[in-house]
């Protein structure tokens, strides 16, 4: 598969694939003319990179994951990233709770609502605890 075909399949610009190659995330085969040729393993790798990026992993972290042959090291990287993702999810859930509280308030100015203030105080306390732990 050509770089254009692979990029189109995933809705990416070709420069993204070239960047990932420069970072060591992809290593497509080359034709005698020097043109890139992507195989099924490369398609899988692109899907993994995209999913990992959606989870918030940096390209450097993704490279470390795919480059290491050490299962213990890979598991430690994944464990660290899972904890970071849990933290981001908790923060997003707290934000959603605050927004839903504002939407459900009958007062003209929801910031003056006692229930809204309680949620703000609780979310602020939970965030401070997460940051300092």
pLDDT band at 125 (very low <50, low <70, confident <90, very high): low
Distance CA 18, CA 51 (A): 18
What gap in Å lies between CA 113 and CA 15, rounded to an integer?
A: 50
**10, 46 in Cβ contact below 8 A?**
yes
Which residue ranges make up each domain of the chain? 3-55, 83-132
At residue 132, the pLDDT reads: 47
Tens-digit pLDDT profile for residues 17-60: 999 999 999 999 999 998 999 999 999 999 999 999 998 899 99
Helix (H, G, I), strand (E, B) or coil at 68: coil
Higher-confidence position of 97 and 122: 97
CB 119 within 8 A of CB 127: no
> Distance between CA atoms of 48 and 62, rounded to whole angstroms?
9
Q: Is the dihedral of CA 74, 75, 76, 77 positive or negative?
A: positive
**For residues 20 and 122, which has the higher predicted lDDT (pLDDT)?**
20
The CATH number assigned to the domain with range 3-55 reads 1.10.1660.10
**pLDDT digits 0-9 by tens, 68-120:** 889 999 999 999 999 998 998 998 998 898 888 888 888 888 888 888 888 88
- CA–CA distance, 15 with 93 (Å, rounded to integer): 35
Q: What is the pLDDT of residue 127?
A: 57
Mean pLDDT of 60-72: 92
89 burial level (CB within 10 Å; 0-12, 13-18, 19+) = exposed
Other C-beta atoms lying within 10 Å of the C-beta of residue 47: 12
């Amino acid at each position: 598969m050509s770089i254009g075909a692979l990029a189109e399949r995933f809705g990416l610009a070709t420069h993204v694939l070239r960047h990932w190659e420069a970072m060591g995330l992809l290593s497509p085969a080359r034709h005698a003319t020097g043109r890139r040729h992507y195989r099924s393993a490369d398609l899988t790798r692109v899907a993994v990179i995209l999913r990992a990026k959606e989870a918030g992993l940096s390209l450097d972290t993704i490279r470390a994951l795919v480059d290491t042959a050490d299962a213990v090291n890979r598991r430690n990287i994944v464990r660290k990233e899972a904890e970071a993702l849990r933290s981001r999810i908790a923060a997003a859930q707290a934000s959603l709770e605050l927004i839903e509280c504002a939407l459900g308030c009958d007062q003209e100015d929801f910031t003056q609502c006692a229930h809204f203030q309680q949620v703000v105080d609780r979310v602020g306390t939970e965030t401070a605890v997460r940051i300092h732990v």
